[in-house]
Structure 1
Amino acid sequence: MKKTFVLDTNVLLHDPSAMLRFEDNDVVLPITIIEELDRFKKQPEITGRNARQVSRMLDDLRSKGQLTEGISINGDGSLQVALCRRETLLELPPELEGDKADNAILAVALELKRQCDSPVVLVSKDINLRIKADALGLTAEDYKTDKVDVDDLYIGMDKVVVASEDIDRLFKLGGVALDQEFFPNQALTLIDEANPSHTALGIVDGASGKVVPITKLSRSGVSRISPRNREQSFALDLLLRDSISLVTLVGKAGTGKTLLAIAAGLQKVADERLYSRLLISRPVVPMGKDLGFLPGDVNEKLTPWMQPLYDNFDLILGTQDSSGKPDHWRRGHEELIEHGLLQIEPLTYIRGRTIPKQFLIVDEAQNLTPHEVKTILTRAGEGTKVVLTGDPDQIDNPYVDAASNGLTYVVERFKNEPLAGHITLLKGERSGLADRAAALL
């Protein structure tokens, strides 16, 4: 049945194209949304850009007719900007009195419920507004277009029981075809049906569909980092495989996501010279209360945000002595920066750029919206590899959650793509304490 969807401002700030994503249903924007967009449009971050984009889209739609009368979109659907009647606003309970934007949105939805024969649904990412709407007898939903089921999130790995001959062919012939359907670049543990303790690790080749052995590493590992468990071995294989342009690594704290990505990036940039530069970025989102403006130039301001990355470089390059004090005779990442092999910058400066032939790592990607991740991936030029790392359980961005953040969104959308690979890291390797804390707390 055709429905009428009333959108809240936060839905449009989350996805500027949301008003066009309801197929052949009717979409209504309360007039108060326009006022709120005007308030948000001056913000410098993604919220401000989204507000300006929505305003431009609405301005373009004005050429097709009167917004207050409804404009045809998506075939049988329509888009309308609805005015809030003062009489309906006064009918709200005393606790909801006033000209607050949420109250105006509720009043518009109530008025439409009386007038429309079709079901009216209020769509908002504000949990409290959905609760208020339910108390008033309105149907309210979250914006689900870019949500994924976290419980069934693709982990990138599987176990397969095979004949012993298949394991032999895997290594003798360099690949084996199995009579099962797998995702491209899915990591497999092959188990010998005659001897379950006899196993082999392989990757489903994205081009041929055959299972091929994972990359054999030297004794020194990758940039002096060696995998400590099966998932890390799979992750390093995807990171080192040149045919894969996008790698996503998901895992709890201490599983080695960032360390493995940096180690693989250093080998590809500094040793193999396959990429011109290792570019590392992360969203500037604080955990807890923000400290406010920081003193110094841009590099000094970024140091607190990028310190976790510097810690990984110190570990890889051995630029910390046993006492934990930096070794000033070997500057580590600073020397790489001086030679143009490494660049570390916030995501604020990545918009509008074209990034060719670089190894791009985006750390803490769980704090990004799907729209922000799309912006990042569309920056990738010819020959660039993008690695997204993060933990959906450690989200500091108030506008996303475990089901709607950009990292999990990309994992689900790209699981069928031959150019992408994903691994969920399960075991913590930072320390016994860190592993137990992540599990128990």
Structure 2
Amino acid sequence: MTSDTIIYVLDTNILLHEPFAFLSFKEHDVVVPMTVLEELDSIKDRKRDVSRDARVAIRALEDVLANATPEEIIEGVPLATTLGSNEQAPSGCLSIINDYALEQKASTLSFNENDNRIINAAIQIQNNNTERKVVLVTKDINMRLKAKGAGMGHVEDYRTDQLIDDVRFLTKGYHKFDGDFWQQVKECESETEGRTTTHYIKKSVLPATYMNEYLLDEGEHFAGRVVGWDDEKLAIQDLSRERLMAKNAWGIHPKNIYQGMAMDALLDPTIDLVILTGPAGCGKTLLALASALETVIERGLYDKVIVTRSTPEIAESIGFLPGTEEEKMAPWLAAITDSLEVLHKQDESMSGSMNYIMEKANIQFKSVNFMRGRSIQNAFVLLDECQNLTASQLKTIITRCGEGTKLVCSGNLAQIDSNYLTAVTSGLTYIVERFKDFPGSSTINLNGVVRSRLASFAEENL
């Protein structure tokens, strides 16, 4: 290969994160150390979701290298010959290096750890290819530091799947104008149908927008939602701050304008997917549950409420806890029962009211593990703590939703527990960016802690 192409050495966590990652490097060469294959082999039989990814990665590598000779695998198998040549297909080579055969004395790190063997292999390739750029690709931050300390010139994270570079750029779901909104609008046409007023303004006022984005101004006079546009004009539904703050769901009223926007989206039957992000204590779960009870019991828009969330080690068996599936899920869904208690704390018999409401609304607690293969019809689905889900896991759940189903995904990107995810690679970040232009979805970042002054102070200062 020419010297302007790069050699990428992949760590195991890259193939676990995206099993077909070795096909994402276009004209550049990819090297998989033998230790990576050993680690994939040890992971493939574990009872975890990552085991499936290990099996997929092994099968994908086998499909590419099945007909290659040992000499060709060491030298590099051209991907274009095995996958066909088209504009999207990678044109580089895939090879396997036997890092177990490297001499100890020629290496900078001991061979006692798998990470060290992979780093040593990358450094050896770097030393043997001085005219080319060699990059070790890993999602392990500590391994990146060790590799640099050992003499690896180029170490990178795998960013092909990242839709944004920094979580600060994540869509918030609303746009705040400086000053008064109407002072920035030179021309406007309005039409009223019933209680709904739609304004048509020049698109130049807000050139970068998306469907169902909420609009606010600093003067606290205007609130609206983008409902459509063309090359010249923007259609904005006038919501008015007073009406947003007057929203009511199961006795709950919004405490700030962000909760008002969230409640507007949650109670709107034309919006099929609502994504709620924000810090702990901003009201994500309470608003979602109150809206679920309101739309199921009072309005009769849905037949049932399905509550689910990711559990630590999402694919671990939940069989160690006693009872039915719902009883096993109870410890993970305590946030829902806490919110139910808040909604009915004024009742004469809170426990009686909760049992009655859970039966009346047909509230079902389900494990994410058992969502695959289901088809959920006419339900209000609450997916809590989904910052710990990958994009593929969220896709599995979203594609379960059939006709008449509304899905609410909520999470806090500051509370990711998964070893394999960061704020920019979380499935929550992924769907916020992917669905921002979908007319049937709405995203709201609930800015501000309303749980208590203690929680608010902790969120700001700890």
TM-score range, shorter chain: 0.7 to 0.9
Cα gap change, 1:413 to 1:365, in 2 (>3 Å): same
Change (3 A) 1:54 1:206: farther
- Give the 3 Å change call, closer, same or farther, for CA 109–249 of structure 1 in structure 2: same
Native 8 Å contact 2:34 2:97 kept in 1: yes
Superposition RMSD in Å: 2.9
Q: Which runs of no fewer than 5 residues in structure 1 stay unpaired?
A: none
Equivalent residues in 2 for 1:30-429, closer than 5 Å? 30-63=33-66, 65-66=68-69, 67-68=73-74, 69-73=76-80, 74-84=89-99, 86-93=101-108, 96-116=109-129, 117-138=131-152, 139-147=154-162, 148=164, 149-160=166-177, 161-163=181-183, 169=190, 174-179=197-202, 180-181=206-207, 182-190=209-217, 196=219, 199-206=221-228, 209-214=234-239, 216=243, 221-285=248-312, 293-316=320-343, 318=344, 327-330=350-353, 332=354, 334-338=355-359, 341-429=362-450
**C-alpha offsets along residues 214-240 of structure 1, whole Å, 9 cap, x if unaligned?**
394796811211111111111111222
Q: Distance in 2 between matches of 1:75 and 1:143?
A: 17
SS at match of 1:422: strand
CA separation of 1:187 and 1:336: change in aligned 2, threshold 3 A: same
**Structure 2 SS opposite 1:10:** helix
Higher mean alpha-carbon deviation, 49-58 vs 68-77, is at 68-77
- Matched residue count: 424
Describe the shift of the 1:107–1:375 C-alpha distance in structure 2 as closer, same or farther (beyond 3 A).
same
Deviation at 1:360, TM superposition (A): 1.8
Q: TM (normalized to structure 1)?
A: 0.87
d(CA) in 2 for partners of 1:150, 1:75: 29
- How far the C-alpha of 1:53 sits from its partner, in A, is 1.6
1: CA distance, partners of 2:28 / 2:346: 60
CA–CA separation in structure 2 for the residues paired with 1:405 and 1:185: 23
C-alpha separation between the residues in 1 aligned to 2:92 and 2:272?
38
Contact residue 245 and residue 260 of structure 2 kept, 8 A: no
Maintained 8 Å contact 2:311/2:332: yes
Aligned in 2, Cα 1:4/1:374: closer, same or farther, shift over 3 Å?
Answer: farther
Contact 1:282 1:364 in 2 (8 A): yes
**Residues in 1 aligned to 2:174 and 2:246: alpha-carbon distance in whole angstroms:** 25
Q: 1:382/1:303 Cα in 2 relative to 1: closer, same or farther (>3 Å)?
A: same
Partners in 2 of 1:398 and 1:28 — Cα distance? 24
More deviation, 358-367/277-286: 277-286
| Mapping of residues 430-441 of structure 1, within 5 Å | 430-441=451-462
Unmatched 5+ stretches in structure 2: 81-88
Report the AA paired with residue 302 of structure 1.
M
AA of the residue aligned to 1:276? D
> Structure 1 residue aligned with 2:12, among 9, 14, 25?
9
My pick for the range that moved more, 227-236 or 363-372, is 363-372
| TM-score, normalised via structure 2 length | 0.83
- Percentage of identical aligned residues: 35
Code of the residue aligned with 2:199 in structure 1: it is V
Q: Is the 1:2–1:118 contact (alpha carbons within 8 Å) kept by the matching residues of 2?
A: yes
Shift of 1:335: 3.8
- Once the two structures are TM-superposed, the CA of residue 61 in structure 1 deviates from its matched residue by 2.3
CA 1:24/1:262 → structure 2, altered by over 3 Å: closer, same or farther?
Answer: farther
Distance 1:240 1:166 in 2: 31
Instruction: Indicate conservation of the 8 Å contact 2:34/2:100, yes or no.
Output: no
Q: Distance in 2 between matches of 1:152 and 1:184?
A: 18
Aligned counterparts of 1:34 and 1:424: Cα–Cα separation in 2: 41
Q: Out of 295-304 and 347-356, give the one that drifted further.
A: 295-304
Given that 1:207 and 1:418 are in contact with CA atoms closer than 8 Å, whether structure 2 keeps it comes out as no
